[in-house]
């Protein structure tokens, strides 16, 4: 086939989780992202996963303590007009800048629960065993639950629905006696959702006021919201929080509504956080036909274990992971806001291993990699941390953008040192050779192709000094430092002058102009 008739190779897709838990609650984060969107695009970020944009229970809430879906920082509710991240105008401006820069926007959708109700309401309940929510541990009785949501600051703008006890399936607090428990709300057609994870008997209930997605008014309001926010912000996808805790059947309906009314090619990824490949595959099978992805939790735990285990056998790093079993459905990651230090699902990864882990998700064919803001820009607040990878994570992302294309040849023949080669594509001729070691200095003889004979390759990170001369047979000996990595590319390859230009941490440290 003539080259002019070949399909151009698309640029590699890379997602940025554009927040971390401890970003200051100065209500200017949307401005930071809008200001820096082109900077991220230049290093190879093609999509931003933004935090929950809806009004939380307080001006400091990250949005997972969600109060009002329809308030994007527009109304004076729960102590402020803006959310922690900023006001609606700033969010719309971010969406505009992202679209202009060619960066896709994915919003974090928290559809499992609501928090910070405006009023208590009397309702019938029975307490259930926290370790087995299918087992009642009390008789039926009435409580005063925080279950009335009137949205007085917003009124009826965008949605006239007010939420009451019948729109929820459970709650965790009785205001009558200040008792905390898991209360199953009782009434006609009331039950826990059945299409949820079976941990703890039935894992429908997670926190706050648990939404009953079987109620027709609930379904209509959330479906309408999904279409509204997707069109308002020109969204190209959603990240769904806590999917193992709410109805799979309802999620299918929500997805169908978006594909039918907004965009058939919407991207959907769920947070099904469980170190169980079989459960993850079962979930994906049940959502078959909805083009759904999951974050690869088992891979994160493998990275954590590998970083803490001396001479861990790197050949097993992908064992039991989603990216190995079903790469088309895997969003790969190293850390997120839940697993970062001092969070509930903390999965510590030693600093030396971060570049190795990012190399394994960014420079290989399989999976859709998601970079964590805290690793790229640093972590703020009481638990402040500098950007990972010696401040050069951006260079690993850039190497993915420029060189990680084409066939992949693996050299997984030694327990503490792995190598692989990306052979390039017809219109992206400069591939790369990657080598990682979790022990002493690494070295592998790898084949990059006879078409590269006589070329001189160097490490784009600058961590391994020296040059490699590609032999007449297309082979060469590639090295990396101890407990580190190297990314070898032709020293004359286009784009080599772009490395080292990204300055991490500035999004927080320099404030917003």
What CATH number is associated with residue 387?
3.20.20.80
> CA 203, 207, 213, 215 torsion: positive or negative?
positive
Phi/psi for 226 (5° steps) reads -60, -45
Q: Do 423 and 314 belong to one domain?
A: no
Residue 505 near residue 394 (C-beta atoms within 8 A): no
Classify residue 509: in a domain, yes or no: no
Residue 38 near residue 46 (C-beta atoms within 8 A): no
- Phi-psi category of residue 234: left, alpha or beta, with phi > 0 → left and psi -120 to 50 → alpha: left
Reading the block at residue 512, the tokens are: 């917003």
Return the residue matching tokens 């799979």.
248
Classify residue 497: in a domain, yes or no: no
The pLDDT tens digits along the chain (513 residues) read 456 578 999 999 999 999 999 999 999 999 999 999 999 999 999 999 999 999 999 999 999 999 999 999 999 999 999 999 999 999 999 999 999 999 999 999 999 999 999 999 999 999 999 999 999 999 999 999 999 999 999 999 999 999 999 999 999 999 999 999 999 999 999 999 999 999 999 999 999 999 999 999 999 999 999 999 999 999 999 999 999 999 999 999 999 999 999 999 999 999 999 999 999 999 999 998 888 999 999 999 999 999 999 989 999 999 999 999 999 999 999 999 999 989 989 999 999 999 999 999 999 999 999 999 999 999 998 889 999 999 999 999 999 999 999 999 999 999 999 999 999 999 998 999 999 999 999 999 999 999 999 999 999 999 999 999 999 999 999 999 999 999 999 999 999 999 999 988 654 434 444
The Cα–Cα gap between 111 and 107 comes to 12
In terms of DSSP H, where are the helices of 194-333? 216-232, 248-261, 277-286, 297-308, 322-325
**DSSP class of residue 486?**
E
> CA 321, 63, 15, 230 torsion: positive or negative?
positive
> CA 111, 116, 120, 125 torsion: positive or negative?
positive
Classify residue 2: in a domain, yes or no: no
3-state secondary structure of 508: helix
Domain boundary among 161, 189, 211: 211
Pairing outcome for strands 442-447 and 484-490: unpaired
Return the residue matching tokens 């029975």.
126
C-alpha distances out from residue 123 to 137, 144, 219, 504, Å: 18, 7, 21, 52
In order, the DSSP letters of 36-95 are HHHHHHHHT--EEEEPP-SEESSTT--SSSEEETT-SS-S-BTTBSSBTTB-HHHHHHHH
Q: Do 77 and 220 belong to one domain?
A: yes
The Cα–Cα gap between 133 and 414 comes to 47
Q: Do 417 and 481 belong to one domain?
A: yes
Q: Do 320 and 393 belong to one domain?
A: yes
Classify residue 429: in a domain, yes or no: yes
Classify residue 393: in a domain, yes or no: yes
Minimal CA–CA distance to 75: which of 160, 161, 157?
157
Q: Do 338 and 467 belong to one domain?
A: no
Q: Do 317 and 386 belong to one domain?
A: yes
Classify residue 244: in a domain, yes or no: yes
Positions annotated as catalytic residues are: 241, 271
Classify residue 503: in a domain, yes or no: no
Q: Do 138 and 279 belong to one domain?
A: no
Q: Do 133 and 97 belong to one domain?
A: no
Could you list the residue range(s) of the whole structural domain that residue 414 is in?
Answer: 408-492
Phi/psi for 445 (5° steps) reads -90, 120
Q: Do 95 and 170 belong to one domain?
A: no
The number of domains in the chain is 3
Classify residue 103: in a domain, yes or no: yes
Q: pTM of the prediction?
A: 0.96
pLDDT of residue 507: 46
For the chain, the straight-line distance linking the first and the last C-alpha, in angstroms and rounded, comes to 52
pLDDT of residue 511: 45
Q: Do 107 and 166 belong to one domain?
A: no
CATH code of the domain in which 181 resides: 2.40.30.140
Q: Do 206 and 240 belong to one domain?
A: no
Domain boundary among 403, 430, 465: 403
pLDDT of residue 6: 86
């Amino acid at each position: 086939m003539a080259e002019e008739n070949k399909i151009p190779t698309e640029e590699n897709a890379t997602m940025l989780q554009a927040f971390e838990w401890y970003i200051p609650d100065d209500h200017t984060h949307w401005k930071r992202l809008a200001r820096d969107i082109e900077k991220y695009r230049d290093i190879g970020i093609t999509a931003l996963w933004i935090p929950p944009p809806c009004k939380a229970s307080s001006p400091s809430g990250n949005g997972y303590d969600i109060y009002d879906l329809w308030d994007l920082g527009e109304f004076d509710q729960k102590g402020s007009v803006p959310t922690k991240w900023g006001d609606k105008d700033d969010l719309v401006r971010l969406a505009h800048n992202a679209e202009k820069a060619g960066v896709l926007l994915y919003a974090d959708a928290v559809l499992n629960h609501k928090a910070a109700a405006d009023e208590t309401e009397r309702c019938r309940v029975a307490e259930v065993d926290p370790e087995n929510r299918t087992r009642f541990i009390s008789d039926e009785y009435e409580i005063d639950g925080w279950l009335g949501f009137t949205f007085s600051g917003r009124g009826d703008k965008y949605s006239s629905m007010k939420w009451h006890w019948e729109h929820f399936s459970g709650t965790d607090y009785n205001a009558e006696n200040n008792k905390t428990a898991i209360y199953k709300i009782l009434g006609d057609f009331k039950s826990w959702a059945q299409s949820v994870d079976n941990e703890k008997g039935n894992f429908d209930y997670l926190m706050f006021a648990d939404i009953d997605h079987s109620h027709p008014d609930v379904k209509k309001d959330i479906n309408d919201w999904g279409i509204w926010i997707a069109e308002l912000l020109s969204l190209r996808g959603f990240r769904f929080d806590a999917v193992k805790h709410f109805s799979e059947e309802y999620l299918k309906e929500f997805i169908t509504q978006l594909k039918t009314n907004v965009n058939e090619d919407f991207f959907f990824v769920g947070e099904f956080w469980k170190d169980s490949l079989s459960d993850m595959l079962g979930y994906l099978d049940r959502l078959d036909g909805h083009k759904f992805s999951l974050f690869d939790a088992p891979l994160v735990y493998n990275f954590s274990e590998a970083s803490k285990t001396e001479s861990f056998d790197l050949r097993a790093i992908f064992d039991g992971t989603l990216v190995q079993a079903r790469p088309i459905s895997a969003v790969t990651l190293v850390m997120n806001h839940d697993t970062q230090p001092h969070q509930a699902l903390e999965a510590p990864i030693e600093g030396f291993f971060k570049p190795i882990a990012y190399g394994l998700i960014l420079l290989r064919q399989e999976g859709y990699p998601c970079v964590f803001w805290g690793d790229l820009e640093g972590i703020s607040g009481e638990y402040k941390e500098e950007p990972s990878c010696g401040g050069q994570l951006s260079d690993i992302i850039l190497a993915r953008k420029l060189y990680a294309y084409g066939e992949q040849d693996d050299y997984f023949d030694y327990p503490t040192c792995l190598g692989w080669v990306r052979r390039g594509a017809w219109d992206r001729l400069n591939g790369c050779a990657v080598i990682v070691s979790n022990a002493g200095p690494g070295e592998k003889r790898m084949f990059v192709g006879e078409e590269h004979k006589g070329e001189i390759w160097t490490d784009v990170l600058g961590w391994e000094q020296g040059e490699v001369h590609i032999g007449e047979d297309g082979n060469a000996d590639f090295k990396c430092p101890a407990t580190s990595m190297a990314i070898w590319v032709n020293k004359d390859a286009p784009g080599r002058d772009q490395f080292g230009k990204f300055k991490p941490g500035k999004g927080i440290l320099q404030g917003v102009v």
